[in-house]
Amino acid sequence: MKTNFKFLILLVLVAIGFQSCQEDDPIIPEEVVVLPPETATTVEGFYLLNEGNMNMNKSSLDYYDYKSGSYRRNVYGQANPEATLGLGDVGNDIGIYGSKVYAVINNSNKVEVMDAATTKRLKVIDVKNCRYVTFANGKAYASAYDGEVQLGENSPNGFVAEIDTTSLKITRTVKVGRQPEEMAVVGDKLYIANSGGYSPPNYERTVSVIDLKTFTKIKDIDVAINLHRLKADADGDIYVSSRGDYYDTPSKLFVIDTKTDKIKKTFDIACSNISIVGDKAYIIGSEFSYVTFKWKINYSMIDVKKEILLEGSFLPKTVSDEIKTPYGLAVDPFSLNVYITDAGDYVSPGKLYCVDKDGVTKFKVITGDIPAHFAFKYKKTTIK
Amino acid sequence: MHLCENRRFCLKHGGLFLLLWILFWNPIYAQNNLPKNNKESDSLKKHQLNEVIVTTSKREFKVESPMPVQILSGKQLEKLNSLSVADAVRYFSGVQLKDYGGIGGLKTINVRSLGSAHTAVFYDGMSVGNAQNGQVDLGKYSLDNIEAIELYNGQKSTIFQPARGFFSSNTLFLKTKVPDFSSGKTTKIRTSVKTGSFGLFNPSFLYQQKISSTFSLTASADWLKADGKYKYRYQKTNGYDTTAVRQNGDIEALRSELALHAKLGTGQASLKTYYYDSERGLPGAILANKYEYVQRQWDRNFFVHGSYQNSFSKKYELLANLKFSRDYNRYIDPDYKTLQGALDNKYYQNEFYASVVNQYTIKEWWKVSLATDFSINKLDANLYRFPYPTRYSYLGALSTEMHWSRLDIQANFLGAYVDEQVKYYQQGDSQHVFCPVISASYQPFDTKNFRVRAFYKESFRMPTFNDLYYTFIGNSSLKPEFTTQYDFGSTYIIEPKKFLQSASFQADVYYNHVKDKIVAMPSANLFRWTMMNLGEVDITGFELNTNFVFRFPEQIFLDLGLSYTYQKAIDVTPKGTTYGDQIPYTPMNSGTATSSISWKNWQLNYSFIYTGERYSQKANIPVNFVKPWYTSDMALIWDGKFLKLPTKIGAEVNNIFNQYYDVVLNFPMPGRNYRLSMSVNF
C-alpha cells in the first residue's frame, strides 16, 4: 500500500518536473569550416544562398572568405537574432551591389537587404512571389510573379520593381509577362524572361524589353516557350534559356542580339544554369524526359565571342561523377575558379565544389539545403 | 464510371456471382442450420476477462491476441479530452500523429514509423481509403458517435474478415455506437453540444429506433463550425519573440449517417450511408514574413455500405460486403494566378468494393477461411496532362487458425493483383504481390492471465495515384513499397481486487524493415521533383502499455494508464547522405500518461503526452533539431440526472501549461484552450 502511494507521489513529481524544465531554444550559431585559402584579388569572397525546401523555412546563407579560407555556414541567424523565423523560405536569388547584399526570398515574399560586411539586416522590402534581382545605375530590379498590389488582384501577369539602393524603397514598377524569371541590363534596357509556368500548356514565349529611363515595356521578343535563365555577355548579347514543356518540346538556349533585338543563334542544349565570364559561358544542362524517363546532364561551354559550343566538359570527370543534382554555378571572373553545387536529394544538406581553371578540385564542403545562388563580394565598393 | 469493355464484363460477372452466392447458398445452408448457440463474431473471446472488473472504465487488454492490440473504448475514450479520433489515437503507444494543427488541420496516423500509408483505417468494418494520396484525415471523424478505437499492429486477430483487413502493416478500427435496446426502450435519443476556444460550436444528434424484433435504425448527425483562430508564439533565447493569431483556419463541416441493422436468425445484415461535407481554410506554414494564407478546400465524402453475415451451419460462415463511395475535393489557391484565373483544382474519386469471406470450421480447434476482395478505384481531376487512372484490385487471403487451450496459431497467405488503366499518357505497371503472415500466442504457465506472442508479417502499399500520375511529379514506373515486421511481446493481467483492483501490462519488442520506400526526389530537371522507390528504413522499437486501477475508501477509484515507446528508425538507404540518421519526425522516446479519479457522479481526468526530441528533416543536424514537447490536459465531468434525464456535463482545459510547439515544423499548435460539453439522453 505504502509503496503504491510513494509511486504516485513520484509520478506527480515527474509530471511537474517535465513542466518545469522547459528547455532553452537558442538561435543556431554559424559553423566554421577551414578550407584552403584563395588569393584575394578584387574578389575577396562570396555569399552562397541555400534555398531550403519549400515550407521548411530553412533558407540560409553561407560565406566563404578567400583570404582566411574560412567557410562560415549558416551566418544569417547569428547576425540577426531579432529577425523572426530567420532568413525565410526558398532563397531564390542573391546579389551584391555596393556595400549591400540583396537576397530574394521567394516564398517569404521579400527582398532582404543586408550589410555585405556584417550580414546584418538593413531592410525588408515586401515583394510578393519575387524571383530574381539585378542591378544598374544605383537601382536594384526585382522580378516577381505576383503583382497583386501593383497590377490588381486577379492579374496573372508579373512585374519588375525598381528599388532605390539608397532609400531601399520601391520607386517604380512595370508590368511584364506571366511568371517572369531572370533579368539582365544592357545599356538602358532591361531584358526579362517570361515563363508562364502557371498555365501549362499556355506558356509565355517572350523576352520583355523595358526602357529603364521611362520604366515602360517597349517590346516583347518572341523566343520560345517557358523561358527562364537570362544572362548578358560583354558584347551586348543575351543568352536566354527555354525549359521546354518537360514532355515533347525540348530545352534550348537562344542568343539575342540587343542591337537588333532579334534571335541570332540557337543551341539545342538544355540550360538549367549559366554563368558567363569573359569569353566563355559555363552551362549546366540537366534535362529529364518524361517520355523516356531518362536523365541527361551536361557541363558544356560556349565561346560567346564566336558563339560556338566548345568540345568537352568544364568539370573533371571525378567531380561530375560525384555530383548527383548539379544546381548552383558561379565562376570567379579573376581566378576563373568554378564553384558548383550539388543539391543532392533537396531535403538534406548539399555540397559545394571548387574546381580551378586547370580542372583541379580545390575543396568540397557541406552547405545548407539546396545550395543555389552566389554573390561575389568585391574588395572595395566597386560595382561589379 | 468509365470502364473498358472486358472490365465491365468482369464486373458484371463478379456482381452476378456474388448475388447468386448469397441468394442460392443462403436457403440451402439455412436448412441444416442448428439452433443458435454461443456464436462468436470474433474468433477470440475478447470479453472473457472483463467481467470481473468493478469499474467499467478500465482500458481493455486482449490477452490472447497473437498480434498486439490497443483499445480505447467507452468510458476510457471519454476521458481523453478528445474532439476527434485523431486526438484519441495519440494515446496509443508506437503512434505518431502527424498533426498540422487546429481543428481543420490534416491529421494522419503513422504507426511504428512505417509511414501513414501503411495504416489501413476501417470504419464499422469497412475500409476507408484515399487512392489519390493514401492519407486518411482522422480529424474528420468525430468521437461523438464512436464506441471504440482499436489499433492492431499487423492485423485484426480474426481470420473471418475481408481480405483488405489482412493487407496493411497496421490497422485502425473505428466502431460506431451500436444500439442497445436491452432496457426495454424502443427509442433512444442523445443530443450534445460542444463549444469553447477557436470559436467552436459543435452540436450533434444521435437517434436510435427499434423498428421490430428484427430491424433497428440509427441516425446521427453532427455539425461543426469554428473560426480556428488561436494564438501561437515563436521565440528564441536572446532572439526574436513573436506572438500572432492563426489565420484562415476556419472550418464548417457536417457529418451525417444513417444505418439500418437487421438480425436474421443466425446472422445479421446492415446497410449504412455516410455523408460528410466541409469547407475549410488552409492556414499554411508559418514562415519568415509570411503569416497569412488565402487557400481554401472543400471536401465531400459519400458512401453506402451493405454488409451481410450468416452462419449457415455450425461449420460454415459467410460474410459479404458491398460498398460504393464517391469523394470530391476542391482546392483553390487565389495566389496562383493562371490565365483562367485562380488555381482551382477538383478531384473526383469513385470506389466500388465487393468482398466475400468464407470460414469453415474443420475441427473444434481448427478453422480455415478464404477472403476475396475486388475493387475499382477511379480518379478524375481537372489537371493539365491528367491521365484519368482506374485501378482494379483483386485481393485474396487464405487463412488458417488453430486454437488450443494454451496455444493459438494463425497463418495467412495473401495474394494481390493490381491492374492499372489510364485514358491518356503512361500507365502504371500491373503488380502481383504475395505476402505470408504468421502469428502465434502461447500461455506458458497455468494462469490464463499471462501470454506471450509473436508475429511475422510482410505487407505492402501500392503507389498512390498522386505518386504515379501527378502532373510533372508522378512516376508511372513505381513499384509498391514493402514492409516486413517481426514482433515479440506479452500481456499480463493481475487482479488482486484489493486496494489495487487490477494491473495490466503489455510489452512488445519489434523490428521492421521498409524497402522500396516511395520518396520524392529531384529529377535531373532541376525544377521538378519526381517520385522514386528509393528509401530503406530499419526500425527497432519497444512498447510498453500499463493500466492500474486503485480503489480508495468512499468509492473513489483511480485509474492510471502509462505507455512508453522507444523507437530507433534509421535511414539505411544505400548511398544516401543521411545513412544511419533517425528518420524525420520520429522521436526516440515518447510516452503518455492518463489518469482519472472518479467519485460518485464526478470524474476528474488528467492526461499527459510527451514526444521526445526529433528532427524535421533527414539530416540529424542542429538546424533540423526539434525540441521535445509535452502537453497536459485536464477535465472535470459530472455524469448524473437532470430533470430525470441522464445528463453529462464536462469542462476541459487542454495544454494547461500553455506550451507552444509544432508537431509538423512551421505548423503551430494551439496553446492553452478550453472546451465545454453537455449531452442529454432522452
A199 strand-pairing partners: none
Q: What is the mean pLDDT of chain B?
A: 89
Q: Look at residue A34 in the predicted model and tell me its pLDDT.
A: 97
Distance CA B653, CA B17 (A): 55
CB contact under 8 A, A348 and B341: no
Tell which A residues from 47 to 66 touch B, by Cβ distance under 8 Å: 53, 55-58, 60
B303: Cβ–Cβ under 8 A, 6 or more apart, which residues? B126, B128, B273, B274, B323, B324, B325, B326
**For residue range B76-125, what is the model confidence (pLDDT) as tens digits?**
888 787 889 999 999 999 999 999 988 999 999 999 999 999 999 999 99
Distance CA A95, CA A122 (A): 15
Distance CA A66, CA A379 (A): 11
Q: For B561, name the nearest residue in chain A, comparing CA atoms only.
A: A11
- DSSP SS3 for A361: strand
Measure CB to CB from residue B335 to each of A89, A146, A246 and give the nearest one: A146
CB contact under 8 A, B525 and A272: yes
CB contact under 8 A, A27 and B285: no
Domain boundaries, chain B: 2-681
What stretches of B12-169 adopt beta strand conformation (E)?
A: 69-73, 95-99, 107-111, 119-123, 126-128, 146-153
Q: In chain A, which residue ranges form alpha helices assigned H by DSSP? A: 2-20, 76-79, 148-151, 317-322
Tell which B residues from 409 to 428 touch A, by Cβ distance under 8 Å: 426
**For residue range B258-314, what is the model confidence (pLDDT) as tens digits?**
999 999 889 999 999 999 999 999 999 999 999 999 999 999 999 999 999 999 888
Q: Give the lowest-confidence range in A264-278, A353-367, B33-47, B290-304.
A: B33-47
Distance CA B666, CA A54 (A): 11
Percentage, residues of chain B above pLDDT 90: 77
Distance CA A163, CA A174 (A): 12
Tell which B residues from 623 to 652 touch A, by Cβ distance under 8 Å: 623, 627-628, 630, 632
Contact predicate B138/B87, CB 8 Å: no
Chain B contact present for A343, CB below 8 A: yes
Contacts of A83 in chain B (CB under 8 A): 240, 288
Size of interface A-B (CB pairs under 8 A): 181
Contact predicate B295/B285, CB 8 Å: no
Contacts of A178 in chain B (CB under 8 A): 337, 339
**For residue range A92-143, what is the model confidence (pLDDT) as tens digits?**
999 999 999 999 999 999 999 999 999 999 999 999 999 999 999 999 999 9
Q: Look at residue B4 in the predicted model and tell me its pLDDT.
A: 42
The pTM assigned to this predicted structure is 0.90
A72: Cβ–Cβ under 8 A, 6 or more apart, which residues? A30, A31, A32, A62, A63, A64, A65
Residue B541 has pLDDT above 50, yes or no: yes
CB contact under 8 A, A85 and B525: no
Most B CBs within 10 Å, among A8, A181, A225, A288, to test the B interface: A288
- DSSP SS3 for B165: helix
Q: Look at residue B372 in the predicted model and tell me its pLDDT.
A: 97
Q: Look at residue A1 in the predicted model and tell me its pLDDT.
A: 41
Measure CB to CB from residue A107 to each of B290, B523, B527 and give the nearest one: B290
Q: Look at residue A103 in the predicted model and tell me its pLDDT.
A: 98
Residue B48 has pLDDT above 80, yes or no: no
Tell which B residues from 454 to 493 touch A, by Cβ distance under 8 Å: 471-472, 475, 477
**Mean pLDDT along residues A184-190:** 97
Chain B contact present for A250, CB below 8 A: no
Measure CB to CB from residue B289 to each of A110, A273, A293 and give the nearest one: A110
**For residue range B458-508, what is the model confidence (pLDDT) as tens digits?**
999 999 999 999 887 888 889 999 999 999 999 999 999 889 999 999 999
**For residue range B367-405, what is the model confidence (pLDDT) as tens digits?**
999 999 999 999 999 999 899 999 999 999 999 999 999
B442: Cβ–Cβ under 8 A, 6 or more apart, which residues? B406, B407, B408, B451, B452, B453
Measure CB to CB from residue B477 to each of A74, A128, A293 and give the nearest one: A293
Measure CB to CB from residue B337 to each of A11, A83, A146 and give the nearest one: A146
**Mean pLDDT along residues B226-238:** 95
Domain boundaries B2-681, CATH class: mainly beta
Q: For A285, name the nearest residue in chain B, comparing CA atoms only.
A: B525
CB contact under 8 A, B237 and A24: yes
Of the two residues B529 and B128, the one the predictor is more confident about is B128
- Which residue's entry shows cell 570567379? A332
Contacts of B610 in chain A (CB under 8 A): 18
Residue A310 has pLDDT above 80, yes or no: yes
